Every structure is written in structure tokens, then in C-alpha cells.
């Protein structure tokens, strides 16, 4: 049995279209997205005599090409994970409302996959848990947080919380509280588990651009004690890779959504192997690393 896993798409629908192609090509039996699913790239669009100007806190890949699209400019920005905002400030309620709409669009886009889909909320997904649950239930998508789901003879267990960040995002908890929450699922994790967290374990594929680790010590301790076959996560975009430590295969599958780069892996449960996948939307090709 095979599962295609990715994370941190941040509303980039172009990445999901490529994910669907990979799922078909690899004959995957399920899809897991390990958090940060809804868009966070808000922008303002201004019409000028010479055309349009895009203002966003995030860099817009292919900005000049998008601006030349004229009437299609909003569609192109929406496709790559950007949501228009009316004023210079968005309240949390406005962000939640726009993300809920975006999440529904993403869930609808995934329906043609025709396979079980599992999702974990990320720290940049500001949608309230109750609304998140309702949307996923409506589209038949499985919520992973603090739950274990049987998948053949395997189990898939999820955990969405992360240590504090400088940006005060959703689902942030100090390590002492993370450890308490992990106790709710630690008995469910064993050698036949695909353990999915949004945050990496401390000192495993969790390095920031400045070289500092940003993973969770509590998650690291649980994984060391329980030795799941696979530990899948995202959150730290710059450390996307995979490695084996002990009996566990670790995979950081965080995409680079701004640059239209899909990252993920195909895990083969029967063979206990990982096949990393990289798709670069800039040159319209994807490859599977051997």
C-alpha cells in the first residue's frame, strides 16, 4: 500500500493539481496533507494607468507575468495561493472567513483523487477547529488531529500543535503543554504507525535558514520511545528532506508554495520505503528521486 504525503501548500492549487498527477502515476492508495493547507498570501490589487500593481507581504512569483494577465489576474493569484484583501488590515475573523472559503475550494479540488484523504491543521490555518471539522466531514476528508485511523493493517495518527513561533500563529503551545497533549495519543503510536505531525521533532530536519533548530523536544521524545515506522511532518520549509534514525523513517515534506515547488514523498507501507518527490512549477516538470 502506498501513501502520497505533502505539507504546507498554503492554498496553492497549482501544487494540488500536480499532486493529483503524482497520485495517479504512483498508484497511491491515500493522500495525507500535514498542515498549513489554507492560503495565507493576502494581497491588494491597485489599477494604475500603466496596468496593475500587486502589494503583498509575500513575494509573488512571476509578478510581471501575472500583471499582464489583466482580467485574469485575480484567478492567477488565487490559483497560486493568494487571497485578495480590501483594506490594509485584516481582522482575525476576516482571515478565518477567507481561509474557510479557500479550504472548501481545496477540498472540492481533491475529490477527483478517488482515494482516502487525511488532513492535519497547521499553525497558519487559523480556521476554528469546529469549522475545520465540519468542512472536512462535508467532503469526506479525515481529520487527523489527536486521532488514530486504521489503514489496512497500519495506523495513521496525527498531532497538529507546534512550539511557540515569533509570529504568534494558531495552535502554538509551550513544550510543557505539548507534552501533556501528546499523552492523549502516545499509547496509539507503535512500529505499525504512520505518525503525522505538523511540527518536526527537535534536531531532525528542523533547521531554519539561520541554522537554529525549531522542532519540538516533546515530539522527539515520543518518537524515540515509540519508534513508529514513519514520522511525517512539514512546518520548516527550508529543511525538506528525509532520513532514517533507528527504526523510523523521517520525512519533512514542506512545500515552497511561493516558488510553486511541490515537495512530498510516496511511502510504501509494505516495503517500508520512502520515495521523495519534487515538482518545480517554474519549469513545468516533476521528478521522483531514486
What is the tens place of the pLDDT at every residue in 251-274?
A: 999 999 999 999 999 999 999 999
- Going by pLDDT thresholds of 50, 70 and 90, the confidence category of residue 288 is very low
Please write the tens of the pLDDT for every residue from 2-41. 999 999 999 999 999 999 999 999 999 999 999 999 999 9
What is the mean predicted confidence (pLDDT) over 194-221? Answer: 97
Please count the other Cβ atoms lying within 10 Å of the Cβ belonging to residue 231: 27
* pLDDT of 289 higher than 80: no
Average model confidence (pLDDT) across the chain: 93
Please write the tens of the pLDDT for every residue from 92-113. 999 999 999 999 999 999 999 9
Please write the tens of the pLDDT for every residue from 217-256. 999 999 999 999 999 999 999 999 999 999 999 999 999 9
Phi-psi region of 113 (alpha: psi -120 to 50; beta: other; left: phi over 0): alpha
Kindly list the structural domains of the chain, giving each domain's residue range(s) and its CATH number in brackets, ordered by start.
2-39+91-288 (3.60.21.10)
- Going by pLDDT thresholds of 50, 70 and 90, the confidence category of residue 284 is very low
Residue 290 is predicted with a pLDDT of 38
Q: Return the higher-pLDDT residue of 61 and 285.
A: 61
* pLDDT of 287 higher than 50: no
Residue whose C-alpha cell is 493547507: 37
Distances in whole angstroms, Cα of residue 192 to Cα of each of 108, 148, 150, 187, 266: 31, 12, 10, 12, 17
Burial group, residue 152, by CB count within 10 angstroms (0-12, 13-18, 19+)? exposed
Residue 47 is predicted with a pLDDT of 84
- Going by pLDDT thresholds of 50, 70 and 90, the confidence category of residue 52 is confident
Q: Which of 174, 150, 176, 155 is nearest to 163 (CA)?
A: 174
* Residue 224, φ and ψ in degrees, nearest 5: -65, -40
Residue whose C-alpha cell is 491543521: 121
- Going by pLDDT thresholds of 50, 70 and 90, the confidence category of residue 67 is confident
- Going by pLDDT thresholds of 50, 70 and 90, the confidence category of residue 86 is confident
Residue whose C-alpha cell is 516533546: 218
- Going by pLDDT thresholds of 50, 70 and 90, the confidence category of residue 286 is very low
Please write the tens of the pLDDT for every residue from 171-194. 999 999 999 999 999 999 999 999
Burial group, residue 131, by CB count within 10 angstroms (0-12, 13-18, 19+)? middle
Distances in whole angstroms, Cα of residue 21 to Cα of each of 8, 15, 110, 119, 279: 18, 10, 11, 19, 11
Do residues 90 and 11 touch, judged by C-beta distance below 8 A?
Answer: no
- Going by pLDDT thresholds of 50, 70 and 90, the confidence category of residue 195 is very high
- Going by pLDDT thresholds of 50, 70 and 90, the confidence category of residue 282 is low
Residue 68 is predicted with a pLDDT of 77
Do residues 11 and 81 touch, judged by C-beta distance below 8 A?
Answer: yes
Q: Which of 69, 8, 1 is nearest to 200 (CA)?
A: 8
Residue whose C-alpha cell is 497558519: 124
Amino acid at each position: 500500500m502506498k501513501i502520497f504525503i505533502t505539507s504546507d501548500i498554503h492554498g496553492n492549487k497549482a501544487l494540488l493539481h500536480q499532486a493529483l498527477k503524482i497520485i495517479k502515476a504512483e498508484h497511491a492508495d491515500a493522500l495525507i496533507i500535514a498542515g498549513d493547507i489554507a492560503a495565507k498570501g493576502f494581497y491588494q490589487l491597485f489599477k494604475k494607468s500603466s496596468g496593475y500593481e500587486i502589494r503583498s507581504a509575500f513575494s509573488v512569483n512571476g509578478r510581471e507575468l501575472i500583471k499582464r494577465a489583466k482580467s485574469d489576474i485575480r484567478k492567477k493569484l488565487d490559483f497560486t495561493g493568494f487571497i485578495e484583501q480590501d483594506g490594509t488590515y485584516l481582522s482575525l475573523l476576516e482571515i478565518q472567513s477567507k481561509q474557510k472559503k479557500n479550504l472548501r475550494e481545496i477540498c472540492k479540488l481533491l475529490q477527483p483523487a478517488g482515494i482516502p484523504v487525511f488532513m492535519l491543521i497547521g499553525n497558519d490555518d487559523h480556521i476554528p477547529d469546529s469549522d475545520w471539522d465540519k468542512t472536512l466531514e462535508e467532503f469526506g476528508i479525515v481529520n487527523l488531529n489527536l486521532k488514530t485511523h486504521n489503514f489496512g493493517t497500519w495506523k495513521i495518527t496525527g498531532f497538529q500543535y507546534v512550539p511557540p513561533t515569533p509570529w504568534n500563529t494558531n495552535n502554538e503551545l509551550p513544550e510543557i503543554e505539548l507534552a501533556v497533549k501528546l499523552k492523549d495519543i502516545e499509547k496509539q503510536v507503535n512500529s505499525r504507525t504512520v505518525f503525522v505531525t505538523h511540527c518536526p521533532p527537535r534536531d531532525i530536519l528542523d533547521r531554519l535558514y539561520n541554522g537554529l533548530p525549531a522542532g519540538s523536544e516533546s515530539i522527539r521524545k515520543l518518537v524515540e520511545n515509540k519508534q513508529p515506522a514513519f514520522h511525517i511532518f512539514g512546518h520548516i520549509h527550508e529543511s525538506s528532506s528525509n532520513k532514517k534514525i533507528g527504526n523510523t523513517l523521517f520525512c519533512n515534506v514542506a512545500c515552497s508554495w511561493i516558488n510553486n515547488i511541490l515537495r512530498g514523498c510516496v511511502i510504501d507501507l509494505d516495503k517500508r520505503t520512502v520515495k521523495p518527490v519534487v515538482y518545480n512549477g517554474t519549469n513545468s516538470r516533476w521528478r521522483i528521486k531514486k
